[in-house]
C-alpha cells in the first residue's frame, strides 16, 4: 500500500513539474455511452441474446424431462418393486445434477462468449481514444465511470470527448433523448 501511495505521489509530482513547462489538456470519455452508439455493441447484444435463447430452450427441455420422470415416479403404486423405485430415484438425482451442471456451464459459456465478443470492441474504442487524444493534443483522457460507478465526481461538459471518439471511429453520435444533467 505504501509503495502504491509513493508511486502515485511521485507520478503526480512528475506530472505537476512537467505541467509547468507544458500545459495539460485533460478530457474524459463515457465509454458506456460510446459502446451504446456502436453497431458492434448492438450486434454483440444480439449474438448474446440468441445464445441465451438457445441455452434456455435446452434448459427448459431438461427441466421438462425431469418433471416428466418425477411425475412417473410419484405415480408409482405399492405394486412397483423397491428396486425400480430406487433406480428411478437415482435417475432423478442424476437428472437434477445434470440440470445444475448445465446451468453453471451455460453461465460460464455466456461469460466467455461475452468476453470474446467484447475484446475487439474494447480494443477499437481504446485505439480510437488514443488516436483522438494524440490528434487533439490531450495529455490525459479519463473514464467517467467504471462499472456504473462514477470515477469523475465533477467535470465540465466541454471536456467530454466521447463524441470525438465516436467520430474518430466513423460513427455519427445519435442525439441523446434524455440528457443527464452535469454532476455537482
Q: Provide the 3-class DSSP secondary structure of residue 119.
A: helix
Full-model pTM: 0.67
> What is the arithmetic mean of pLDDT over 69-98?
89
Reduced to 3 states (helix: H, G, I; strand: E, B; else coil), residue 164 is: helix
Q: What percent of the chain has pLDDT over 70?
A: 80
Domain positions in the chain: 17-168
Cα distances from 169 to residues 24, 37, 104, 115, 180, in angstroms, run 25, 11, 37, 21, 24
Q: How many residues does the chain have?
A: 184
Q: Give the pLDDT of residue 8.
A: 47
Is the distance from CB of 80 to CB of 43 less than 8 angstroms? no
Show Cβ contacts of residue 136 under 8 Å, excluding neighbours closer than 6 positions: 25, 27, 161, 164
Statement: 17-168 belongs to CATH 3.30.910.20: yes
Contact 44, 117 (CB under 8 A): yes
Q: Over 80: is that where the pLDDT of 179 sits?
A: no
Q: Which three cell numbers stand for residue 70?
A: 418425477
Amino acid at each position: 500500500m505504501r509503495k502504491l501511495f509513493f508511486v502515485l505521489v511521485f507520478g503526480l509530482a512528475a506530472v505537476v513539474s512537467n505541467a509547468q513547462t507544458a500545459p495539460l489538456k485533460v478530457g474524459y470519455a463515457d465509454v458506456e455511452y460510446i459502446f451504446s452508439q456502436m453497431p458492434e455493441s448492438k450486434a454483440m447484444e444480439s449474438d448474446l441474446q440468441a445464445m441465451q435463447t438457445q441455452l434456455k430452450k435446452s434448459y427448459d427441455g431438461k427441466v421438462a424431462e425431469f418433471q416428466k420422470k418425477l411425475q412417473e415416479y410419484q405415480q408409482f403404486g405399492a405394486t412397483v418393486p423397491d428396486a425400480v423405485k430406487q433406480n428411478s430415484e437415482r435417475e432423478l438425482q442424476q437428472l437434477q445434477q445434470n440440470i445444475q451442471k448445465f446451468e453453471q456451464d451455460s453461465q460460464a459459456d455466456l461469460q466467455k462468449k461475452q468476453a470474446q465478443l467484447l475484446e475487439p470492441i474494447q480494443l477499437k474504442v481504446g485505439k480510437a481514444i488514443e488516436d483522438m487524444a494524440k490528434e487533439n493534443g490531450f495529455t490525459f483522457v479519463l473514464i467517467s465511470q467504471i462499472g456504473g460507478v462514477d470515477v469523475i465526481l465533477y467535470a465540465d461538459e466541454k471536456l467530454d470527448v466521447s463524441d470525438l471518439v465516436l467520430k474518430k471511429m466513423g460513427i455519427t453520435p445519435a442525439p441523446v433523448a434524455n440528457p443527464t444533467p452535469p454532476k455537482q
